[in-house]
Amino acid sequence: MPTIQTDLNIEAIRNDFPILNEVVNGKQLVYFDNAATTQKPRAVLDAISGYYEHYNANIHRGIHHLAEKATSAFEASRRRIQEYINAPQHEEVIFTYGTTDGINLVAQTYGRAFLKEGDEILITTMEHHSNIVPWQMLCEEKGCVLRVIPINDAGELLMDEYEKMLSERTKFVSVVHVSNSLGTINPVAEIIEKAHQVGAKVLIDGAQATSHLHIDVQALDCDFFTFSLHKMYGPTGMGVLYGKRELLEAMPPFRGGGEMIKEVTFERSTYNDLPYKFEAGTPNIADVVAAKYALDYVASLGKDAIGTYEHDLLTYATDALQSIDGLRIIGTAKEKISVISFILDGAHHQDTGVLLDQQGIAIRTGHHCTQPLMRRFGIPGTSRASFAVYNTTEEIDRLVQGLHKVKKMLG
C-alpha cells in the first residue's frame, strides 16, 4: 500500500505523548481507541501538574496572588474556547463535566422551562445514549413526544424523511454532529436551517466533531453546541456548553450553590450573570486550565493538516481492513471521520478486542453506547478502531496482522 505523505512530523508528534511508549503484554502499545478518549501531550500534562505545584487556589473569590493567578488561567481557557468555536461572546461558554453534562443541562433547564405536552423533540437513529436518555426523561415528565430520524444502510441520515417529520409541533432538534460508532459526518448546517424554518431550537452534540472538524457556531447558527475536551487531547472531566446568550439568559439555573448566586437570604436568592449562573460550586480548575494547552497544541499542528492526515489514515485503514476475508465494515457513509467499526465472521467483538489486546493493540468493542443503532443494523456490537494524529500506517498494518491472528485462533 502507498505511504501517506504529510507535512506533519509524526515521529516528533508521537514523542509529545509519553503514554505511547508503554508496553502492553510485551508489545509496543498501539492505541486505536481515540473516539473514546485521546491521549494527552506533554504540554497538557505539564499544565495540570503546574497548576497544582505553583498556583493551586480557588478561583474568582480570592484576592491573594495564587487565587488571582488561578482565576486568570481559568478564564484564559474560556476565551480560548470561545475563539476555537467562534462563539460571539465568552459569556456564552459554559464549563461542564463533559458532553453528557451539557446535554442534560439543556434538557433539564431549557426543556423544563419551555417545552410542554405534545411538543415534539427530534433525534437521530445514531445518537449516543447521552443524547437519548435525557430527552426520554424530559418526555416522561412533560408529556413531550420523542421522534427518531431514520438512516440508510450506509449509516447516513435520510434527510427527506427528516423534512417530512418537521412541523409546527417540532420544538427541539438534538443531533450528533459525528457518529461515535459509524464515523458519519451529519449535514448539521442543513439540519439546523430546516429546524429553524419551523421555529425549533437545535442542540448539536459535538463530542466527536471538535477534534476533527472546524467548528464555527456562528456559521452553523446552532442554538446550543456541547463537547468534551478529553476527546481532543485535553483532560477528562471537563466539557463545554455553548448557548446563544438570549437562550441562556432565559433558562433557569441547573444547580444551586456557590458561584451561581449574587445574593442569598433565607427568603430568596438572586442568580449570577452568565456564565457563572450555570457553574455552581468549585469547578475542575486544573483541567479547565489545561484545556487551553490542548487547543494550543492542536493549533500548533494545524487543524487542516491534522484533518488531512487523519482522513488519509482512514482511507489506508479502510482499504487494508477490507482485504481481510470475512470482515465487514459497519458504517460506509461518504462523509466520515477517522472511525471504522467492523465485525469479523466467526468472532465475537469482545473476543476480538481481548485477542488484539494480547498483541498490544487497543481498540473498542461493544455497542459504544448506541444500542438502538446496533439494533438498526441487527448486530449486538462491533469492534471499533479510531485514529488520531499520532497514529501511523505501520500501526494499521499491525492491526491487520493482528486480525489475521484472531481469525486463526478462533477459526
- What residue type is 128 in one-letter code? H
- What residue type is 400 in one-letter code? V
Q: How far is CA 84 from the centre of its chain?
A: 15
Residue 286 near residue 234, CB atoms below 8 Å: no
- Give the Cβ contact number of residue 118 at 10 Å: 11
CA angle 101, 252, 97 (to 5 degrees): 15
DSSP states of 210-245:
TTTS---HHHHT-SEEEEEGGGTTS-SS-EEEEE-H
Dihedrals phi, psi of 175, to nearest 5 degrees: -135, 150
Q: Which of 139, 144, 222, 369 is catalytic?
A: 369
238 vs 178: CA distance, rounded Å: 20
The β-bridge partners of 95 are 240
281 vs 118: CA distance, rounded Å: 35
State the DSSP code for 154: T
340 vs 63: CA distance, rounded Å: 51
238 vs 3: CA distance, rounded Å: 36
- Annotated catalytic residue 139: no
Q: Are strands 27-28 and 23-24 parallel, antiparallel or unpaired?
A: antiparallel
Place of cell 482512514: 314
Contacts of 407 (CB under 8 A, 6+ apart): 324, 325, 326, 344, 346, 347
Can you read off the three cell numbers belonging to residue 56?
493551586
The β-bridge partners of 175 are 204
Using CA atoms, how far residue 21 sits from 18, 28, 38, 72, in Å, is 6, 7, 15, 34
106 vs 254: CA distance, rounded Å: 9
Dihedrals phi, psi of 346, to nearest 5 degrees: 80, 5
180 vs 128: CA distance, rounded Å: 7
Residues noted as catalytic: 369
